[in-house]
Amino acid sequence: MHTWIEINGENLRHNVRVFAGIVGKERLAPVLKSNAYGHGLRETWEALKSENPGWIAVNYVSEGKDLRSFGFTGRILVVGPFLTDEMAEAARHKLELFVGHSEGISAWLASKTKPELHIEFDTGMSRQGFHPEDAFSLAEKLLADKKLIRGVCMHFANVEDVTEHEYARVQLNRFDVAVKAFTGRGFDVITHSASSASTLILDESRFDLARVGISIYGFWPSQATKISYKQLHGDVIDLKPVLSWRAKITSLNDVAQGRYVGYGCTFKARHAMRVAVVPVGYFEGYPRIASGTQAYVLIHGERCPVVGRVCMNMMMVDVTDISAKTAVGAVVTLIGRDGQEYVSASDVASWSETIHYELVTRLNPAIERRLT
């Protein structure tokens, strides 16, 4: 392929160490769901393994199995929903499952081979989880299988988007009820609630485990999180971006004044231009909605605007200003650094009316990931 993604292993390990420093190494669960936030599950594991993580969190049972096949022997937390017929496999691979609805519990109770569970409580997001008021009867129901219940957990709804965290505190108060229902009946459970943002800015959310996703890849969860962190600590920690996305120019066109570029003839050349074709489109993960915005890529360390509509496998960029030095085969940076210039995944996301989480997780898994 004429496009590839570079994964900086050293930066990934740096970020992991930053979080290990905050919560303690044994209480950190890097989250590698969604193809490790688009970074590549295998490559991310390869980069991470020298840190000897005690835990890794994923979304699917299948991702947990993949990690086992790569040789990971630590604890694996599956935070997404599971199918009834995946239970035996989960147990065989020693995967620990989040469960948050009564159908899941019934199927589990009826199952011959039972994987270990973390009971999830819905404390204010209305997504997955039991209501804390039901914790007591649930604990009763699970008493006979006490040893297989390893954790009680929740997820925050509103830490990333705000700098005041009263809603998170409401959630924590509800969580407390659920935790006590289990510990009060002698369950030997760990408790966990934190993701990246809450780990960074809500000390009381950390408990026994922090499930850190976006920030081990070097991103602040949001601008509001960064501001909150700065208010709390006076300074910000150094998170280093891990992913760069590059391609090579596949062809160059001279476009006369008055000619159009791309589908729909949305772009008309006001003057004679030189336009490069970059072999990346929405199939590869560059959003079509970025067409007609401030979107640019970097070539020879210069910003080159995206012109016309982003196509399925290609886009056109204006290289008029650098036409003397560029040629077919020149390296194009879609995300990452080139000389003095830098394009972040958040920049591309902002041109595309989305967030960096969505942008990186939708990078086509078929694109080669090169671990550096």
Residues annotated catalytic, as ranges:
33, 263
* 87 near ligand PLP, judged by CB under 6 A: no
Query: Minimal distance in Å, beta carbon 198 to ligand PLP?
Result: 8
Binders in 13-52 for ligand PLP, by CB under 6 A: 31, 33
Q: Which residues pair with 153 in a beta bridge?
A: 120, 192
8 A C-beta contact, residue 283 and residue 368: no
Enter the tokens of residue 172.
């924590």
In the list 35, 196, 326, 346, the residue contacting ligand PLP (rule: CB under 6 A) is 196
Give dist(CA 358, CA 220) in Å, integer.
14
Give dist(CA 319, CA 357) in Å, integer.
29
- 60 phi/psi in degrees, rounded to 5: -110, 150
Residue with smallest beta-carbon separation from ligand PLP: 213
Give dist(CA 244, CA 113) in Å, integer.
43
* 79 near ligand PLP, judged by CB under 6 A: yes
Per CB under 6 A, which region of 82-90, 190-198, 234-242, 342-350 contacts ligand PLP?
Answer: 190-198
- State how beta strands 315-318 and 251-255 pair: unpaired
* 206 near ligand PLP, judged by CB under 6 A: no
Q: Would you say 201 or 316 has its CB closer to ligand PLP?
A: 201
In the list 129, 213, 262, 336, the residue contacting ligand PLP (rule: CB under 6 A) is 213
In the list 5, 41, 200, 212, the residue contacting ligand PLP (rule: CB under 6 A) is 212
In the list 36, 47, 95, 214, the residue contacting ligand PLP (rule: CB under 6 A) is 214
- Between 9-23 and 41-48, two packed helices, what is the crossing angle to 10 degrees? 60
CA 248 from centroid of its chain's CA atoms: 26
* 152 near ligand PLP, judged by CB under 6 A: no
Based on C-alpha coordinates, what's the Rg of the chain? Answer: 24
Residues within the interface to ligand PLP (CB under 6 A): 31, 33, 79, 155, 195-197, 211-215, 221
